[in-house]
Structure 1
C-alpha cells in the first residue's frame, strides 16, 4: 500500500453491518477507538456517538461523519420461506440481483442470496420489466419452517462483501460513509491541545434524511460545523469529464454545494487556504444531486457556518464502492490541519 493508514480498521468498519436506525455495532467500534483519545464519550437517544476533545476556549466545532449504510428491513416472509424487503436508503435495484446478503436476526446472523433466475428462462416481457426493490427475494437456503423460526419481520439485511485493496484503490461495501468515520477517528488521534473544543460525532440515519445530524446540531449548537462524507467520482466510462464531479487520486473534495447545502463561502475558502499552505491535494466539489449531513448541521439550530470535506468515491450505493488510498490520506491531513489551525477567531459571518 503506497499510502500509509490503518487498513485493518477501515476494513473492520466497512465490513461491519449497520443500517439506518440500527448502528449499534458501529457504535461499539467508534467508542472503542475513542477510548484514550478524547476527553469524553457519550451517545444520545438517536444513537449518535460524540467524542469531545476539550480546547482552550469555549468556541466549539462539530465534525460529523455518518456511520449508517444503505440496507434493508424484512417486510414479509413468504409461505415458501423467501424474504421480501423494504429499502433503507437509496438503492438502484439493478445492482441487487445475484448479491450475497447478511440477515441480522435476534438469534444471530444468517447468510442469504438475492437470486437471479437464468436469463434464457425469462419471457420477453420479464426481461424488459423495470427492476424494483419490491421484486427482490432473499433465499436463505432453509426450509420455510426454519426461516419462520429464525427470521422476523423487522430484521435487518445488508449486502455481504469483503473490503480489499485493488491496485491503488480500496473497494468494498459501506465505504459510504465508513471511510469518513475512519478519517474522523484518525484526525481525533492526531489532534493535540486544540485551541477550540472539538466534538467528533459519528451520526446516524443520514441515508434516510440527515436525521442524526439534525438532532446533534440542536443538542450541541456548535459555532462551526464540518461534515465528512463520500462524493461522486464518475471518472469512468461512459461519462465525460464535465460529469465526473470528482476524480479519484486528485485529492480530498472541498464541497461547494450539494442538494442539501450551499457551504459557507468563508469556510470553504479557509479549507482551500489550509490545503494550499500544507500542500495537501484537493479538488472542488459541486454535487448536482444528493444531500449530506452538512445540510442538517447548517441550519437546525439557527444559522451555523458549515463546510464539508468529501472523499471521492466510484460506484456509490453499490457493494463495490471504491476510493483511492491517497485521497483518504489527503482527507485526514486536511481535516487535521484545519482543526489544528482553528482558533475560534475566524469570522465566518457573511
Structure 2
C-alpha cells in the first residue's frame, strides 16, 4: 500500500492535475522495465495534463481520473468547492501559495451556507486547498482522503505490470464536470480502433453494495451503458471466480458518462471497489474489495 499512500498525498485537485501526471510519469519510467510489456507513453500539450499508456495491440481501455475534490480560496477568507467535498467545522486543509506552505482549518459557521478557512494570515486568492492526508491501515481496511480516485489510479498502475494488450488513460477534471475523456476517447478510437472501456474508479457503500463483498460492477448510475456490453462483463466476472457485487443507482457519474456522450461508439462499464465516508478526509475501503478489483481488472483485460 506504499504506492497508494504516495498517490493519496499528491496535490492534484480538479484543474491542477500536473503534479499527479508528473508522479505517474516518473513512476512509469522507474518501473516499466519490470513490466511484462513496455508501453508507449503518450502525453503532451495536445493532451493537457492527461497521459496514456499503450500496450501491445489494444482492444480495451481503462480510464482512471487523477483529480480530487478540494476548495479554492475566494475573498475575505471564504473558500468555494472544487467538485463535491463534504464540509465540516475544523477539517484540516493543506496547500501552498506565494508565501509558503499552508495548513489550516475549515470554518463552517452555524447556519451559514458559506465556508471559510482559519489561518494566521491571508491566503492568496485562487489557492487550492485539499484535505490533509492521514493514511491509515488495519487488517481489514485502508482509510485516507482521496481514495476516490487515487485507488483507481493505483489499480491501473498495478494492472500495467502484467498487461499485454490494452490502453490506460489517466484523465483530468472528472470531479468537476469532466472535459478530457472525449478527446482521449477520440484519440484512441481514431488511432487504435478501441471502442470499449472499463472505468477504474471508486463507488459508494450503499444498502445494496457492502464492504468486503467484492468489487462493484455498476449496471447503471446517472448514465445507462449498453446492456450487451454490461452483460458480457458480468459473464466474465462470473467466469473469473472473483467476488463481485452488482450496483444499480439512479445518480452519480464517472468518465463513462463522457464516453457515452462523445460522438464515438464506446461501450463502457464502471468497475470499482466501494467506499464509505465519501468525499471526506476519511474515505474507507475494504482490503478484500481492493484485491478483487485488481484481480477482476486483470482478468477482464485479458478476456474482453
CA drift of 1:10 comes to 0.6
Normalised TM-score (structure 1): 0.78
Matching residue of 1:99: 91
CA drift of 1:305 comes to 1.4
Equivalent residue runs for 1:235-314 within 5 Å? 244-259=207-222, 261-314=223-276
CA drift of 1:108 comes to 4.1
Contact 1:217 1:301 (C-alpha < 8 Å) held by counterparts:
no
Q: Cα RMSD (Å) of the superposition?
A: 1.8
Other structure's SS at 2:284 match: strand
- State the alpha-carbon separation in 2 of the partners of residues 152 and 280 from structure 1: 49
Contact 2:65 2:174 (C-alpha < 8 Å) held by counterparts:
yes
- State the alpha-carbon separation in 2 of the partners of residues 186 and 203 from structure 1: 17
- State the alpha-carbon separation in 1 of the partners of residues 80 and 141 from structure 2: 31
Equivalent residue runs for 1:115-194 within 5 Å? 115=107, 127=110, 129=111, 131-132=112-113, 134=114, 136-142=115-121, 147=122, 151-191=123-163, 193-194=164-165
- State the alpha-carbon separation in 1 of the partners of residues 213 and 93 from structure 2: 33
Other structure's SS at 1:336 match: helix
- State the alpha-carbon separation in 1 of the partners of residues 136 and 218 from structure 2: 27
Aligned with 2:11 (options 13, 17, 22): 17
CA drift of 1:167 comes to 4.2
Other structure's SS at 2:181 match: helix
CA drift of 1:299 comes to 3.3
- State the alpha-carbon separation in 2 of the partners of residues 282 and 319 from structure 1: 26
Contact 1:20 1:69 (C-alpha < 8 Å) held by counterparts:
yes
Equivalent residue runs for 1:330-349 within 5 Å? 330-342=292-304
Other structure's SS at 1:190 match: coil
Normalised TM-score (structure 2): 0.90
In structure 2, relative to structure 1, the CA distance for the partners of 1:67 and 1:245 (3 Å cut) is: farther
In structure 2, relative to structure 1, the CA distance for the partners of 1:199 and 1:106 (3 Å cut) is: farther
- State the alpha-carbon separation in 2 of the partners of residues 187 and 167 from structure 1: 23
Q: How many aligned positions are there?
A: 292
In the alignment, structure 1 residue 217 sits paired with structure 2 residue 185: yes
- State the alpha-carbon separation in 1 of the partners of residues 133 and 268 from structure 2: 34
Other structure's SS at 1:33 match: helix
Matching residue of 2:60: 61
Matching residue of 1:87: 81
In structure 2, relative to structure 1, the CA distance for the partners of 1:276 and 1:45 (3 Å cut) is: closer
5+ residue gaps, structure 2, are none
In the alignment, structure 1 residue 75 sits paired with structure 2 residue 74: yes
Matching residue of 1:50: 52
CA drift of 1:140 comes to 2.0
CA drift of 1:255 comes to 1.1
Contact 2:195 2:265 (C-alpha < 8 Å) held by counterparts:
no
CA deviation string 1:268-319 (max 9, x = no partner): 2222222222210001011221111111122313221111202111111111
5+ residue gaps, structure 1, are 1-6, 117-125, 235-243, 343-350
Other structure's SS at 1:280 match: coil
- State the alpha-carbon separation in 2 of the partners of residues 303 and 54 from structure 1: 22
Contact 2:41 2:51 (C-alpha < 8 Å) held by counterparts:
yes
CA drift of 1:209 comes to 1.2
- State the alpha-carbon separation in 2 of the partners of residues 180 and 336 from structure 1: 13
CA deviation string 1:45-77 (max 9, x = no partner): 43111111122xxx542210111110011111x
Contact 1:263 1:308 (C-alpha < 8 Å) held by counterparts:
no
In the alignment, structure 1 residue 32 sits paired with structure 2 residue 26: yes
Other structure's SS at 1:255 match: strand
CA drift of 1:84 comes to 1.4
In the alignment, structure 1 residue 112 sits paired with structure 2 residue 104: yes
In structure 2, relative to structure 1, the CA distance for the partners of 1:107 and 1:266 (3 Å cut) is: farther
